[in-house]
Amino acid sequence: MTDASKSASAMGRHLTPHLPALWRFALSLTGRPDVADDLVQSTCLRAMEKHHLFDGSGNLVAWTMTILRSIWINQLRATTIRAAQSLDATNEAELAALLPQSESNIFASQVFTQVMKLPEAQRQTVVLVYVEGFRYSEAAKILDVPIGTIMSRLSAARQKLAHLNATDVVPQQDKSQS
């Protein structure tokens, strides 16, 4: 049982190792790395402020991701839509540069770009289940949808991304970098 609920600073300590996961989920919601940065900051402040509401026996990351999604929906999304051109139109080169070793791992960059091109709802679900490893039922709770919706989103995403597993596409390192 975690002591994350005991104080704001304890909550902060427990959140720190999960910041990359929070950021990935934030990126899947916002489609923009700069907005994802701000969203994670807001989320951590809110989680530390509300540390006493965390049930110490629950999943801290899932709890925090629920907060993150709530802030996005209730506070930031409308303003960001007015300020930006499109949430789904993300510059591919800018995205690829976010991935570690993107210049040498071309396949990983392709996968990342394809995931980010998914519609927002599918993208969120793919990140929660395939990247963060949440169970379907856990992802359903975070996104506040029935488990059947999770399955249909993943099914649609699988159809769009199936070519990534095609046997005639061999993931290769960029030999020129070796």
Partner 1 sequence: MTYSDADLLAYLAGTAAEEMSAGIEAALALDPALEDRLMTLDPLASTIGDALDGLGADRVTLPAQKQSRRIWPLAVAACAGAAIVATVVLWPAPQTTRPWMDQVAAYQALYSPATIANVTPTQEGLAAQFAQLDTALGTQLPLDALQTATTLELRRAQILAFENAPLGQIVFADDTGRPVALCLIRTDSPGRDTATFELHGLNGAAFTQGGFDYLVIGATTRQEAEALANQFSRALAAS
Nearer to partner 1, 13 or 56 (CB): 13
Q: Return the number of the residue (1 or 83) whose C-beta is nearest partner 1.
A: 83
27's CB contacts (< 8 A; 6+ apart) are 33, 36, 98, 116, 127
Judged by beta carbon, residue 41 or residue 177, the one nearer partner 1 is 41
Q: How far is the CB of 75 from partner 1 (least distance, A)?
A: 5
- Residue numbers of the site for partner 1 (CB under 8 A)? 8-9, 12, 15-16, 19-24, 27, 33, 35, 37-42, 44-46, 48-49, 75-76, 79-80, 82-83, 98-101, 105, 107-108, 111-112, 115, 126-127, 129-131, 133, 135-137, 147-148, 151, 154-155, 157-159, 161-162, 164-165
Between 9 and 177, name the residue whose CB sits nearer to partner 1. 9
Q: Is residue 5 a contact partner of residue 56, using CB atoms and an 8 Å limit?
A: yes
How far apart CA 76 and CA 79 sit, in angstroms, is 5
Distance, in Å, from the CA atom of 143 to the CA atom of 101, rounded to the nearest integer, reads 31
Shortest separation between residue 123's beta carbon and partner 1, angstroms: 11
Distance CA 31, CA 11 (A): 27
Least spacing, CB of residue 103 vs partner 1, in Å: 14
Residue 56's H or E segment, with its range, is none
What's the CA gap between 160 and 83, in Å, rounded?
A: 29
Residue placing its CB nearer to partner 1 in the complex, 55 or 159:
159
Least distance from C-beta 146 to partner 1, angstroms? 9
Residue 112 beta carbon to partner 1: minimum distance, rounded to whole angstroms: 6
Q: Which is nearer to partner 1, 38 or 120 (CB)?
A: 38
d(CA 178, CA 172): 12
| Least distance (Å) between residue 56 CB and partner 1 | 19
Q: Phi/psi zone of residue 91: left (φ > 0), alpha (ψ -120 to 50 degrees), beta?
A: beta
Q: How many CA atoms lie within 13 A of 70 on its CB side?
A: 13
